[in-house]
Amino acid sequence: MELLAGELAALVERHRQRAAALDATLAAANNAARAWANDPAGGDARIRAAMANNPAPYATTFGEPPTATFAAPPFAPCTVVAADGSSIDPDRVAPVPCFVINTGWAVLPYRVGGEAALGSKPWVGPREAASDGGEDDGEDASPGGRGWGVSLLRDIEERETGIHLARERLVHGPVVLLFDGTFLPWDLDSRRIAARVRRQVMQRLLDALALLATGDEPLSAGAYISGSRSGDVATSLAVLAGQDPDRWLGADSLFFAPLLGEGERSALFRARSERGQTVEQQVPPESQVAFFYLRTGGDIARVELPLWAATPERIDRLHATLIDQCARCDGYPRALQEAHEQAVISGGDRQQFARLLESEAARQRVFAAANGKQTSKRRRAV
């Protein structure tokens, strides 16, 4: 520890210098943003030109000046629905390769009908015999590997669960549906996941999005990213300021932190990318993503929503509900917190599952291959 302590002073000094340099960058970013606000179409055109043959994510305006801020409307009665997931990833030293996904949910009615519900649904996979895959099955699609796409399956289960619960509750009045993380599951374009899995999940996603995006019902939807490090707006501002995006603001939150007052949201932006075969390009236009930033306490959160949900009434409901939810739960939406609590698989649960699996495998005379490193770690004898 003495060796590390000696390095801390220099580390903090470097950070301080970077922060000081940030002030000048922020001033330039503000100038670029003001110019963009004065001529949104011209700014967007310059950004689209910079996107050509560039895989980086950018942002363009979406009907609101990029420097605009909006106070939270009053919270109105609604049901807040949230879904979140947790998983046990495949253990390569387990006697039988498998995984667990547990999807938790929270349905919380605020001054509307219906009962509150908290719950979770766990399941064990794979549900079909594992395959070594074939063409285009990713670089690690072997049984027990990432080819199963556990995180992707967890994402789609969350969305299906939340969407079905949200639609059920519309009979009681307005509904706000929340997810944790991005609105679209970005692992859908990961080549480390077997193509067969990605195809199946994409079809399930399209079905779920179609179910969500129906009619004129009072349904708002948003995906909440606390402490977001995304840089779409910062990259666009760099283009407009004639700067190198790689040597510019690291994250959008640095730009919006001084701009947003407590409870305020930023303007809406469109997420843009020219990267080939992005997830967004594979979903219907109405389910592509817009986003805004939101200040709750010290947190600058990014909120993603499908384009069909970017109507003034739906955005106001989402904005007001998120501020109310965060006030109820120390700066994070209460419904997401409760869904997480339902989903979480504790360390004890993980160990118990491993023991159950070993026990069942032994009963059927299936044993794990000897693994000296694992055995040694368990003993830790001197």
Partner 1 sequence: MTPGPGSEAPRVVEAGLRSFTCAYERYVEQPFQLGQVVAVREGPVTILGCIADTASGPEDPGRPLQAQGGALTAAEVFAENPHIRPLLRTRLTIAACGYISGEGALALLPPSPPPLLARVEPATDAEVVHATADGAFLALLTASPLCDDAVIAAAVRAAANAHGAEARDFTVRAGKELARLLKAEPARLSSILRGVTA
Instruction: Give the binding site for partner 1 (CB under 8 A).
Output: 106-111, 115-119, 328, 334-335, 338, 341
Segment 367-373 long-range contacts (CB within 8 Å, at least 24 positions apart) = 367/95, 368/93, 368/94, 368/95, 369/93, 371/93
- Residue closer to partner 1 by CB (options 22, 118) is 118
- Residue closer to partner 1 by CB (options 217, 341) is 341
Dihedral sign (CA 39, 42, 46, 52): positive
- Cβ 104 to partner 1 shortest distance, Å: 12
> How many whole angstroms separate alpha carbon 233 and alpha carbon 31?
14
- Cβ 338 to partner 1 shortest distance, Å: 5
- Residue closer to partner 1 by CB (options 103, 287) is 103
- Residue closer to partner 1 by CB (options 264, 324) is 324
Report yes or no: 211 and 285 within 8 Å, Cβ to Cβ: no
Q: Measuring CA to CA, which residue among 164, 26, 22, 184 is closest to residue 107?
A: 164
- Cβ 344 to partner 1 shortest distance, Å: 11
- Cβ 116 to partner 1 shortest distance, Å: 4
- Cβ 210 to partner 1 shortest distance, Å: 23
> How many whole angstroms separate alpha carbon 66 and alpha carbon 45?
14
Tokens matching residue 338: 């409760």
Q: Measuring CA to CA, which residue among 230, 235, 291 is closest to residue 32?
A: 235
Report yes or no: 343 and 335 within 8 Å, Cβ to Cβ: no
232-240 helix and 40-51 helix, angle to the nearest 10 degrees? 100
- Residue closer to partner 1 by CB (options 346, 364) is 346
Cis peptide bond upstream of 126, omega within 30:
yes
- Residue closer to partner 1 by CB (options 29, 322) is 322
- Residue closer to partner 1 by CB (options 314, 334) is 334
- Cβ 73 to partner 1 shortest distance, Å: 19
Q: Measuring CA to CA, which residue among 163, 288, 268 is closest to residue 217?
A: 163
Rounded to the nearest angstrom, the gap between the alpha carbon of residue 268 and the centroid of all alpha carbons in its chain is 17
Question: What are 289's strand-pairing partners?
Answer: 306
The full DSSP string for 314-375 is HHHHHHHHHHHHHHTTTTS-HHHHHHHHHH---HHHHHHHHHHHHHHHHHTT--PPP-HHHH
- Cβ 117 to partner 1 shortest distance, Å: 5
- Cβ 175 to partner 1 shortest distance, Å: 14
- Cβ 220 to partner 1 shortest distance, Å: 18
- Residue closer to partner 1 by CB (options 108, 240) is 108
Dihedral sign (CA 328, 330, 334, 338): negative
- Residue closer to partner 1 by CB (options 48, 328) is 328
